Amino acid sequence: MEIRFLGFGGAFDTHLVNSSAIVSHSGVRTLIDCGHSVFPFLKNSGAIHQIDQVVITHLHDDHVGSLSALAIYFSKVLGKGPLPVLCANPEFLEKVRLFFTLSLVNPKPYCNLLLLPEGRGDISAIDTKSLHMEGLHTFAFVFREQSSSIVYSGDLGQCDYLFAELNHLNLPDPVIFHEISYQPDSRGHTYFMDLEKWTRIYPVYGYHCDPDLNPDSNPIPLVAHSPEFLWSSVKSDLVG
Ligand SMILES: [Zn+2]
């Protein structure tokens, strides 16, 4: 199993690609999120050919802003049929359907909305509703194979909630990718110092931030500084 980030930027880091990653697990490649700068990256890098399905953490623009374009391109230009979009629960599936309906009128030819199987499948969701923004559906995702697992936080203002859930799951060799904020008073995102105690239990990497602004006081290693977690062309951009 492996994860490769296409981007690690936050909503307003317009010089960076929005936070998004492809996880390869059990022979399937899952794109996490497709914000407004992600479709151009997918197409220009060729990564668009490496996607089998999509999961969505939440419906903010920096996470779904180019999802409709991806669905059209995947189904019609690449001729792969409706894009499978795995939704974490029935309520969220209806929100995603509304999102696509507003954009595509009849989304059926372009995307296939599916429910993630409940329980401890290859991919499972942790419901973090209202922990990023009051009333907003948000999800973290857990990818699990026999001897390894990957956790992707989504946008989340209270990291302790996620880790309490993870403590119940007894995951094999988990690596946690958690959004971080540099602002101590950030409510919808997690201030990096709040993650520090969890780094004594889990390997934790931060994303959803501009690495050029990373304060020296941040103890959380950044995805941006970890080539092993970056899509190849992101890596060469950083080197070049
Ligand atoms: Zn958000």
Q: DSSP letter string over 65-109? A: TTHHHHHHIIIIIS---SEEEEESSHHHHHHHHHHHHHHHSS-TT
Rounded average pLDDT over 7-15:
93
Phi, psi of 48 (to 5 degrees): -60, -25
**Contact status, residue 44 vs residue 17, Cβ threshold 8 Å:** no
Check whether 237 has a pLDDT greater than 70.
no
Check whether 236 has a pLDDT greater than 80.
no
Residues in the 5 Å CB sphere of ion ligand 1: 60, 155
- Going from the Cα of 2 to the center of ligand 1, the distance in angstroms, rounded, reads 24
Report the C-alpha gap between 60 and 55 in whole angstroms. Answer: 14
**Contact status, residue 171 vs residue 142, Cβ threshold 8 Å:** yes
Q: Residue 106 in 3-state DSSP? A: coil
For residue 45, the domain's CATH number is: 3.60.15.10
pLDDT, residue 4, reads 98
Q: Locate 137 and state its tokens.
A: 């559906």
pLDDT, residue 240, reads 42
Give me the number of domains the chain comprises: 1
Report the C-alpha gap between 20 and 185 in whole angstroms. Answer: 25
Range(s) of the domain holding residue 134: 2-239
What spatial distance separates the first Cα and last Cα of the chain, rounded to whole Å? 27
Proportion of the chain above pLDDT 70, given as a percent:
97
Check whether 120 has a pLDDT greater than 70.
no
- Going from the Cα of 225 to the center of ligand 1, the distance in angstroms, rounded, reads 22
Q: In the sheet where 149-152 sits, what is the strand order? A: 123-127, 139-144, 149-152, 174-179, 204-207
What is the Rg, in whole angstroms, of the alpha carbon atoms belonging to the chain?
17
Question: What's the predicted TM-score (pTM) here?
Answer: 0.96
- Going from the Cα of 79 to the center of ligand 1, the distance in angstroms, rounded, reads 31
What's the one-letter identity of residue 101? T
- Going from the Cα of 12 to the center of ligand 1, the distance in angstroms, rounded, reads 11
- Going from the Cα of 146 to the center of ligand 1, the distance in angstroms, rounded, reads 31
- Going from the Cα of 166 to the center of ligand 1, the distance in angstroms, rounded, reads 21
pLDDT digits (tens, 9 = 90+) for 62-117: 999 999 999 999 999 999 999 999 999 999 999 999 999 999 999 999 999 999 98
Phi, psi of 14 (to 5 degrees): -70, -15
- Going from the Cα of 154 to the center of ligand 1, the distance in angstroms, rounded, reads 8
**Contact status, residue 208 vs residue 189, Cβ threshold 8 Å:** yes
